[in-house]
Amino acid sequence: MSDVVHKLLLIINTSNEKDIDYNISWIMLQNINKISSMSINQLADLCYVSISTISRFCRKLGCNSFYEFKNMLVYDDNEYFDPRNKSINMNINEDASDLFFMAKKNIDLATETLKIEEIDQLVQDIHDYPTVSLVGLNTGQSITLDFQSELMVLGKFATVFVDIDKQLDNIKSLDENSLLVIFSISGGCSYNSRLSEALKQSKAKKVLITQNPATPLLEYVTKVILYGNEYFPFVGRYAFLYVKDLILMRYRFLYEV
């Protein structure tokens, strides 16, 4: 799912129905498949607001312009429609058990791929660094929020910024005493160029957890922890949850909390 769609849903879930941002988000979500072919004038008319209001709203979503907003909407990171999953989708339509076996296979691959030494080093870093910041890209966003709350139960506070602009500003501000952990099934997002620039400016130790060995963020991070198989994007979230829970279990075990 596109990052901006996550943001629109967040506004719907957390804002007052009378807020203008709520109304714009609601209309955008109701017409999400039409926006790519609309002009900013048409969308402004549809939302009963001015063009400048739409422009400001796009910037709130982390987009520099309405054009960038449209590009982020159609970013090809939706695992449900990934062409590599066509045969999987067809089989699942015939037999739902195929989904279970594909998910299990990817989790098994994650088990084989992951090195416990890498997980334990990450756990130690999370424990020892005074400042820990978490970033979830696309599907990884909801998993990251869950990870944040479970870490808090274990006594470790970590920040998560859902707003893209605040997220990027936070990344840039991190110093040598900070740890940045990025969760991304695909190893990228719809704002890769802006994220890469922020990572270049950050002085933190940067760890990316992904199942894509060819991630475009490779040169901008300190460490990449690989899991699963890049050719199983549709079921990547299941292995992702396994990795998240493994980190938490090792944290609890190593620090007896």
**Domain of 13: which CATH number?**
1.10.10.10
Contact between 64 and 41 (Cβ < 8 Å)? no
Q: Which range of residues forms the domain containing residue 19?
A: 3-73
For residues 29 and 105, membership in a common domain is answered with: no
Task: Tell me how many domains the chain contains.
Answer: 2
**60 assigned to some structural domain:** yes
For residues 132 and 26, membership in a common domain is answered with: no
For residues 69 and 107, membership in a common domain is answered with: no
**89 assigned to some structural domain:** no
For residues 119 and 218, membership in a common domain is answered with: yes
**216 assigned to some structural domain:** yes
- Residue 96, pLDDT score: 67
> Rounded to an integer, what distance in angstroms lies between the CA atom of residue 75 and that of residue 82?
11
Residue range 77-83: mean pLDDT, rounded: 46
For residues 34 and 140, membership in a common domain is answered with: no
Judged against a pLDDT cut of 90, whether residue 181 lies above it is answered with yes
For residues 64 and 187, membership in a common domain is answered with: no
- Residue 209, pLDDT score: 96
For residues 137 and 211, membership in a common domain is answered with: yes
Of the pLDDT bands very low, low, confident and very high (cuts 50, 70, 90), residue 231 is: low
Q: CATH no. for residue 131? A: 3.40.50.10490
Q: How far is CA 39 from CA 51, 54, 64, 86, in A?
A: 10, 11, 16, 32
For residues 41 and 130, membership in a common domain is answered with: no
- Residue 89, pLDDT score: 52
Q: What is the pLDDT of residues 190-224, one digit of tens each?
A: 788 889 999 999 999 999 999 989 999 999 999 99
**103 assigned to some structural domain:** yes
**113 assigned to some structural domain:** yes
pTM (whole model) above 0.85: no
**90 assigned to some structural domain:** no
- Residue 80, pLDDT score: 43
**64 assigned to some structural domain:** yes
Tell me how many degrees the CA angle 56-78-19 measures, rounded to the nearest 5: 30
Beta bridge partners of 132: 179
**52 assigned to some structural domain:** yes
Choose between 166 and 200: higher pLDDT.
Answer: 200
